[in-house]
Structure 1
Amino acid sequence: MTSAPSPRAASPAGESPAPAAGPADPVDSLILHATDNGVSWLTLNRPDAMNALTWDQRERLIGRLADASADPDVRAVVITATGKGFCAGADLRGSPPAGGADGGDRVPGDVARMIRNGAQRFIAAVLDCEKPVIAAVNGTAAGIGAHLAFACDLVLAAESARFIEVFARRGLVPDGGGAYLLPRLIGPQRAKELMFFGDAVPAAEAARLGLVNRVVPDGELAKTAREWAERLAAGPTRALALTKALVNASLDTDRGTAFAAEATAQEITMTTADAQEGVASFVERRPPTYRGR
């Protein structure tokens, strides 16, 4: 088996390196993709633009995350970047027009529709992916780049990484689920502080607030991401998927609904081969070997 990709430097647009495969079209050179040891590595690759996310990159990432959900050979996902930043936000140049289908004047509803079909759909693809998703943040993550990281199940940050809620600086409200994600991660008061002022939050402070799971030296980011991803890839994939779904839904439901969902998820999990292996390994006092089924 080939070893997991070793990331290059990242840029402030939420990108960090992953294994490269031969590009089949231009977008393939902007979103590098490789699968290794059950891990799908997705690497933003526009270092000269600090990995600002274009429309076609976003659509490719949405497709790759859907593919990961459906592929039994993929059991974890890492999103990272090349250059000096993770993701500097959205690059609107080259995006489809926000106006009518004919590119005419914008009318009420056009922007809301663009946000629903664009930034919100993108963040939902991360939250809804049926495999655990790790963000390996190698540099600045700003705007939608920060929300991309926060939507992931686990966040690793290089010491040089920083997170910026840039929207108020531009006279805008947060999009891409920011006002949904941040209060759930750090509470409403802290979330408003970050969003009102738009100050850069260094990696160590982000970890203290609860936005990041672990901060590592820049040179150890790829290694740590590989270790975490391969641990997840060796785990009981369906149980992890259902656990992710339960946790993500927990803050939006009452106790009765949450308990009912938990019971249903356990019912489903108990029918998997991995659950049977988990019980058998316990009885036989040996490490389990999970197959993701």
Structure 2
Amino acid sequence: MTDHITVQNTPGGVRLIGLDRPQKKNALTGAMYDAMRVALADADASGEIGAVVFAGLPGIFTAGNDLADFDEGTRTAFGDAPALQFIRQLARTRTPMVAAVDGIAVGIGTTLTLHCDLVYVSDSARFRMPFVELGLVPEAASSYLLPRRVGLLKATEFLLLSEPFDAATAVGLGLANGIIPSDMLVEHAIAQASRLAALPRCAVEASRKLIRGDQAAVEAALEAEAEAFEARLRSPEAQAAFKTFLDRTPKPAA
């Protein structure tokens, strides 16, 4: 798909979407978002794929957006940005999704998991959503989904104060199913995804709709966030925060 996103299909009907950009801690570029969006849309259209697994390299899930790429890619309308197109597809994907989170999961690395049907983490998993620190607002319908998972007060800690949380906290709050040894994490996630893929497809889709609740409300929250996000991207606060981050990012040697 790209040099940094791998897509593998197992004989059991599971699609593994792998994040593979170790030199940048799997920070996501527009091309990576596009590749993941296509992989999800194709899974929905396929009669062979019954579940999708997201996984990063050993020791890291994703550091979130590559801010240099993201800043450059949103100088035009944010509604066309690959990140938003991926988020829309993520929210609408009918195929069950499983996340295998090892190491850091920043920004979209955390909010992506809110759309997954099962989430497994290693003991080293660390979650953080620093949107407000960057002068932005939450995305991927996290302002809607997270308070309904963990309550308003904890969601405020995570979304406004950008408080990090670990694997045990994620499990305790119902944001992850369990802690799995790092060397068995992806294998376990694929095994659980295979169980989903083996079930009657129409029954899974109908049950998933009932379990997940009001899809229209999720999509409405996502679009409201996108509108506010675009406005914030143009703000002096966000531009200053991006500049500060990029100025302190080590530059490659000439």
Query: Normalising TM by the smaller chain, what interval?
Result: 0.7 to 0.9
Number of residues of Structure 1 aligned to a counterpart in Structure 2: 215
Q: Which residue is equivalent to 1:232?
A: 196
- Mapped pair 1:68 → 2:43: yes
For 1:75 and 1:42, the matched residues in 2 are separated by 14
Q: Which residue is equivalent to 1:143?
A: 107
Output the amino acid matched with 1:86.
Answer: F
Q: Which residue is equivalent to 1:80?
A: 55
Q: Which residue is equivalent to 2:144?
A: 180
Q: Which runs of 5+ in 1 are unaligned?
A: 1-26, 101-109, 254-293
Stretch deviating more after TM superposition (29-38 or 123-132) = 123-132
Length-normalised TM-score, structure 1: 0.68
Name the SS for the 2:144 alignment partner.
helix
Q: Map of 1:1-293 to 2, 5 A cutoff?
A: 27-36=1-10, 37-95=12-70, 97-100=73-76, 110-111=77-78, 113=79, 117-250=81-214
* RMSD of equivalent CA atoms: 2.0
Greater RCO (Cα-Cα under 8 Å, separation 6 or more): 2
For 2:120 and 2:179, the matched residues in 1 are separated by 6
For 2:55 and 2:43, the matched residues in 1 are separated by 16
Name the SS for the 1:199 alignment partner.
coil
For 1:59 and 1:28, the matched residues in 2 are separated by 9
For 1:62 and 1:248, the matched residues in 2 are separated by 20
For 1:50 and 1:40, the matched residues in 2 are separated by 22
Output the amino acid matched with 1:50.
Answer: K
How many angstroms does 1:252 deviate by? Answer: 6.4
Please tell me whether the aligned partners of residues 98 and 117 of structure 2 are also in contact (alpha carbons under 8 angstroms). yes
Name the SS for the 1:126 alignment partner.
helix
Q: Which residue is equivalent to 1:10?
A: none
Length-normalised TM-score, structure 2: 0.78
Judging by fraction of residues, say which structure has more helix. Answer: 2
Closer, same or farther in 2 for the Cα pair 1:179/1:118, shift >3 Å?
Answer: farther
**Which protein shows a greater Rg?**
1
For 1:233 and 1:140, the matched residues in 2 are separated by 28
Stretch deviating more after TM superposition (240-249 or 66-75) = 240-249
For 1:127 and 1:176, the matched residues in 2 are separated by 8
Identity rate, percent = 35
For 1:41 and 1:202, the matched residues in 2 are separated by 24
Cα deviation per residue 1:188-211 (whole Å; 9 max; x = unaligned)?
Answer: 221111112212100011110111
Moved over 6 A (4+): none
Q: Which runs of 5+ in 2 are unaligned?
A: 218-254
Output the amino acid matched with 2:120.
Answer: L
Name the SS for the 1:238 alignment partner.
helix
Name the SS for the 2:3 alignment partner.
helix
Output the amino acid matched with 1:180.
Answer: Y
